[in-house]
Amino acid sequence: MALRFAVYENGEDHIRNRVCKSIVSTFIDYGHKLVSKEEELNFILNQASLVESDHYYRKTPSEWIISVIHVSETYEDLKSLCYTVLIRTLANLVIAIVPKHGEARLQKEDEISSGDEIKDNYMIYCITPEVGFYGFPYNPKKIYQCMMPIVTSHALLKNRVINDLPLALHDPSPTVKSLMKYGRELDKLGLLPTPFPLQELLSKDDLDHLYGFFQIKGISYGNLSVREPVPSIGEDTFWMTARGVNKGSLSSIGKDILLVSRFEPETQTIIVHSTPDGDPRARVSVDAIEHQLIYSIFPEVKAIVHVHAWMDNIESTFQNHPCGTIELANSVVEKIKEFDHPDSVVIGLKNHGITITGSSLEEIFDRIRGNLVPTVPMYE
């Protein structure tokens, strides 16, 4: 499939702009099309800056943003710097161009007449919202390969919330109470917070834009869900944590916890059910499409946990697809199909974390307790 993309130009950084030109040329060589920013796009190549606030803001969740920055000096915490740029620009991937020896090598345009000078002097580091962070020597084709799993993905984040939850489910059932209980356990394991304190890294305007764009009130990594049949609503209904809420303090149906019944392909929408007095801004976790697909295909699965951690000796997906995409959901499902017992597997998500299925949340935590590795291994 030929992709349509545009470049958001921002200032005269010769190194960054040269790398962007090489990325554009590589995409064109592979049959993709450079178009105007005003046209329908698959992604924007965003020439971002470390010091300026001028950057391209995403118009829709399905428009992917690849932010390119030039880091001309040594930073003590490069990962934190890259993550700040990623969040500030609402990007799905940041490509950082970093001197190999900790100092700026090429500053003048006439010093970079070809890509060889950059290849000899610079490394490329990539970071995603899932904090997949890895580096490699400058190579335009390698950058292209890192971008493709992201810019070819399709986000399914849209919710339709129906306030028709049966009265008997307005108060937490034993199933919902188990969700609350194990949300608190995730919090005790230290697996929920964002990797860096956003309030310290971002301005109030950038935070407001981030929360407003994704219809969230905060960011808390990981999610949990548990199946509970509600015959009046659907065959594969399940409770799941809401988008951006603190899983360590789940307390309310219609606010922190929502019931999901199905995915509606014709409108690309997750159908969610809430109480009449539920929070109208509440949306289910962005990973709902993955959970919904697993529950609909594997009836023996009763609970699912996703955390940004790892376990030894597990199978992993091949590509680094973003959260909330059908591509990530399908890749996890295909991995689960390889196992004899789909209700007791741990699937690694490349440069991201793990998805665990089980017969209950209690059974899942009995298996993973003491076996989680907090650092996810990174691969190019």
Domain extents in the chain: 4-151, 158-368
Distance CA 144, CA 272 (A): 37
What is the predicted pLDDT for the residue at 232?
Answer: 94
Q: What are the tokens at 100? A: 């190999």
Distance CA 240, CA 250 (A): 11
Entry pTM? 0.86
The answer to whether 377 and 320 are in contact (CB under 8 A) is no
Distance CA 94, CA 143 (A): 11
What is the predicted pLDDT for the residue at 109?
Answer: 43
Q: What are the tokens at 265? A: 């392909």
Question: Is it true that domain 158-368 has CATH number 3.40.190.10?
Answer: no
pLDDT digits (tens, 9 = 90+) for 230-241: 999 998 999 999
Degrees, nearest 5: CA angle 42-47-51: 140
Q: What are the tokens at 46? A: 């965003």
DSSP lists the bridge partners of residue 4 as 33
What is the predicted pLDDT for the residue at 268?
Answer: 93
- 372: buried, middle or exposed (CB in 10 Å: 19+, 13-18, 0-12)? middle
Q: What are the tokens at 331? A: 């890749």
Q: What are the tokens at 269? A: 């929408």
105 Cβ contact partners less than 8 Å away, ≥ 6 residues apart: 99, 117, 121, 122
With H, G, I as helix, E, B as strand and everything else as coil, classify residue 83. Answer: helix
H or E stretch at 187:
helix 174-188
H or E stretch at 294:
helix 288-297
Low-confidence ranges of the chain (pLDDT < 70): 52-55, 57, 102-116, 131, 191-203, 206-220, 380
What is the predicted pLDDT for the residue at 223?
Answer: 92
Q: Read out DSSP for 117-185?
A: HHHHHEEEEEE-TT--EEEEE--HHHHHHHHHHHHT--B--EEEEE----GGGSSPPHHHHHHHHHHHH
What is the predicted pLDDT for the residue at 110?
Answer: 46
